[in-house]
Amino acid sequence: MLMQQGILLTKSLGQNFLHDQNQVQRIADAAQLTSGDQVLEIGPGLGPLTRALLQQGAQVTAVEIDRRLHASLEEAFQGEKALTLIHADALKWLRQHPQDWSRWKLVSNLPYSVGSPIVVELALAPKGPSDMVVTLQQEVIERMMAAPGSKAYGVMSLLVQLSYQIGQRFRIPASCFFPEPDVESSCLALHRRSKPLLDEDQSRTFVQLVKLGFSQRRKVMWKLLKQRWSSEWLENARNQLGLDPMIRAQALDLDAFVALTRVLHASDNRS
Ligand code: SAM
């Protein structure tokens, strides 16, 4: 198909196309769609997943950066009223068009080059999608799912898990893609928490706290946080929450980061 259309693949755009129909179907099924659901698909490529989503009755908005693929999709899906095709860089497009995504599901075999920032952008959106079913390199999926103490646990785990609960995950062998990627891939379902753990303002403090806390993994977290909060407030928070003065960020779980955010956020408002 690619050759028929004279399309040369661009490695930097993460163009590894899923040709295994069973895996395409598994991804679409993981989204548990009901007819009329609004789905955002990023990087539709040649449209195998788009087709499966449409077959399940979804209203799909698909954002593709590659002009040739966008043109080929327009032709392939001509007259398909349930599909809106957008030719854009999805990350820029998301940032330029902030909106209420809470009634949407993201279902995508994401471009691996920009997959992480896209998931984080939507995960931190005040009204992010109700569900995200994303296929990405396994290493990134592991970071999203990771728990304290593991090597994969860090900024990505916390930024995603603040608003999303981890759902089903399955591996997709490299042989299911053309060309085969150098890395292993997995599909992961994320479900938005019904009740946010923090409000919008506190969430911004949470992001600062997590990024600073993990900025040097070997250092005691409190030393790193001194760049942003006074020693007095940090000591106060530590005592209030009964946290170890020698703790490193990777040992602290989501609940502890949330509790610490509340205390430090309150201190910002008082000082
Ligand atoms: N969904 C298709 C499939 O499963 O076969 C293609 C997936 S391929 C891994 C990633 C797709 O994302 C490619 O079509 C690529 O052109 C597109 N892409 C890459 N960077 C993008 C960006 N910043 N915004 C939108 N699409 C992008």
> For residue 231, what pLDDT is reported?
95
Alpha-carbon distance values, 117 to 83, 144, 180, 212 (Å): 25, 12, 23, 18
**CATH class of the domain whose range is 200-270:** mainly alpha
Rounded mean pLDDT, 210-237: 96
Average pLDDT, the chain: 95
CB 87 within 8 A of CB 73: no
The CA 137 to ligand 1 mean position distance, Å, reads 13
> What is the CATH number that goes with domain 11-192?
3.40.50.150
pLDDT in tens, 2-26: 545 556 677 777 789 999 999 999 9
pLDDT in tens, 182-199: 999 999 999 999 999 999
> For residue 169, what pLDDT is reported?
98
Nearest CA owner, ligand 1 atom 10:
111
235 pLDDT more than 90:
yes
Which atom of ligand 1 lies nearest, measured to the CA of 108?
Answer: 1
Which atom of ligand 1 lies nearest, measured to the CA of 18?
Answer: 5
The CA 83 to ligand 1 mean position distance, Å, reads 17
* N-terminal to C-terminal alpha carbon distance within the chain: 63
Query: Which residue matches tokens 């980061």?
Result: 257
Alpha-carbon distance values, 15 to 7, 10, 48, 59, 82 (Å): 11, 6, 13, 24, 25
The CA 70 to ligand 1 mean position distance, Å, reads 10
102 pLDDT more than 80:
yes
Rounded mean pLDDT, 138-146: 98
pLDDT in tens, 51-87: 999 999 999 999 999 999 999 999 999 999 999 999 9
The CA 43 to ligand 1 mean position distance, Å, reads 3
The alpha-carbon radius of gyration of the chain (Å, integer) is: 21
Rounded mean pLDDT, 30-41: 96
Which atom of ligand 1 lies nearest, measured to the CA of 114?
Answer: 23
> For residue 267, what pLDDT is reported?
84
Residue of 3 and 213 predicted with greater confidence: 213
pLDDT in tens, 252-271: 999 999 999 999 999 887 76
The CA 23 to ligand 1 mean position distance, Å, reads 17
108 pLDDT more than 70:
yes
249 pLDDT more than 90:
yes
Rounded mean pLDDT, 107-124: 96
> For residue 271, what pLDDT is reported?
65
Rounded mean pLDDT, 216-223: 95
> For residue 5, what pLDDT is reported?
59
Nearest CA owner, ligand 1 atom 19:
13
Rounded mean pLDDT, 82-99: 97
The CA 232 to ligand 1 mean position distance, Å, reads 48
Nearest CA owner, ligand 1 atom 4:
18
Report residues whose beta carbon is within 6 angstroms of any ligand 1 atom. 13-18, 42-46, 48-49, 63-66, 69, 89-91, 109, 111, 114
Tell me the domain boundaries of the chain.
11-192, 200-270
Q: 11-192 and 200-270 share one CATH topology?
A: no
Nearest CA owner, ligand 1 atom 18:
43
**1 band by pLDDT with thresholds 50, 70 and 90:** low
> For residue 6, what pLDDT is reported?
56
> For residue 7, what pLDDT is reported?
63
| Residue 107: closest CA among 76, 155, 63, 165 | 63
92 CB contacts (<8 Å, ≥6 apart)? none
The CA 42 to ligand 1 mean position distance, Å, reads 6
31 pLDDT more than 90:
yes
Q: Taking phi first (over 0 means left), then psi (-120 to 50 degrees means alpha), and beta for anything else, what does residue 43 get? A: left
Which atom of ligand 1 lies nearest, measured to the CA of 13?
Answer: 19
Q: pTM for the whole thing?
A: 0.94
SS (H, E, C) the chain: CCCCCCCCCCHHHCCCEECCHHHHHHHHHHCCCCCCCEEEEECCCCCHHHHHHHHCCCEEEEEECCHHHHHHHHHHCCCCCCEEEEECCHHHHHHHCCCCCCCEEEEEECCCCCHHHHHHHHHHCCCCCCEEEEEEEHHHHHHHHCCCCCCCCCHHHHHHHCCEEEEEEEEECHHHEECCCCCCEEEEEEEECCCCCCCHHHHHHHHHHHHHHCCCCCCCHHHHHCCCCCHHHHHHHHHHHCCCCCCCHHHCCHHHHHHHHHHHHHHHHHC
